[in-house]
Structure 1
């Protein structure tokens, strides 16, 4: 005679004494294999498993923040994420490779599981990526064109290399000399000299015909703030206090031409505008005081320069393709520098000398 066996569990129980919902989750939030280990074990697809990582989030992180390793941090790959961060995306190469792998559907999380949502979003992700790459390429090309334009604007045009043929109103110790370059300069257009006068602040309109010029500004009786500005590339030529006399080059490069001078003074002033042929030519040591323009017509590109003054001392040469800043110091100066033969602009508030070496 057989004994009655145990009563089988109801159909909604997966483990004896453990009521469970149809999806396999226990009332206390644990699966049967965790709460009641035994012959039934765990069930695949239980709620305790980590959800898949999103393809959309991984793609956005890789596209926008891949250089910082954010995409790999998101996927749980902490080690490679740190390496990617420290190398700024493997100098860009690693970031690009990860982006391609993600768009190709080959990216996985740390448990080697595929990303969720790839099929639904892959076309949109690929389209947006291509558009952004094209936009970045166009921006890069435009930036390169703008940079090249700035370099060309800074370069001195050949017209400025024509040597002067006279020495008028010069304080140089050297005698003027005519050169072959001077004869060549006679074939180019020349600017007719003009003198503007006034008393106090004024704005003067001029037509330099797109030619480089030398302007000499004088305000002997000024006692307050004295300045001379242009709307061209040079902008601020004079900014001092009290009396002033000095000369400056304007429109030395193919940039924005000067059409206006803005004078600030508290007394009578004169502004003389001349062609660059009026610049004195110097073949040996030259000395001067204050701001001055000269033509450095020597057989060497080395010069010993001195200055005795308190303000900023600047020597800028225009003999090469790009203007060279030979000296830019404050106060007294003494040294030997490279100075290509050609036009030279000196800015000083004291006495200076330039000697060929």
Structure 2
């Protein structure tokens, strides 16, 4: 018995040492990349980091808790507009919008604006979807679509606050490599910690068999609400980071196309896998950026390829079909790299 306990203690001590070493190397790599990458490649790296945050947050509900939601586009929009209204220049808000004086004069530090963006997204998600938890299967999926529809319609029609379909521009360029990957690492650590605790065991049980979990005394409504709160918060944070990277936001910024791209990252990487979420975000982000020139038309080895709008989505769909045929559980399945394993 003592031998087993000592072996377990040594295992976790060694894992902690390896984790610290890897984090140190990772931050050194980030420092090198931030000082060496050009504008285009640096932007791709930042988009990858934001997609990691969004995919991981989606994995909490759609993966571990098995709550298949399509409403995270509306949550991103709520977070994006929140941080934009709190950080936009006072002159722009005064000349373009009709806001309450306190909001018009508001200039909140970035860290507080993204926290508030997460809180607003969490409130929006719970307000709209909490009543829908009674629904199951495709009924809940259809109800979750309501978040996107409701938030887009609100953003388009509340012109004094959102500037309607035109949207808001001129958000300060606060998003950088340290904010994005700092939050991503924190989210990875948070998920890993939760999965090794009672919360994680309860969520996994609900995801595998909700009826059996409830029979064993698990309050499924409570744990599903907690999972959705955490997921919504970080989805809002992801929307805020995206807004301060792109520097503009409109009601169409987070439409169903964006929603399905994030779902694709999760499915291709592997549902219920932290490693899979990161891998899926890397693959889809790279494919989207590599294929983008094909849509606009390029000259390839002397052959003129005309513009083909929508080609990226078609090729992504083909790639998804191929992966689902040969890897129906995603590339990682439910497996983790050894460092992230919770076993």
Higher relative contact order (CA 8 A, sep 6+): 2
TM-score, normalising length: structure 2: 0.20
TM-score, normalising length: structure 1: 0.19
Considering fraction of residues, name the structure with more helix. 2
Larger Rg: 1
Considering fraction of residues, name the structure with more strand. 1
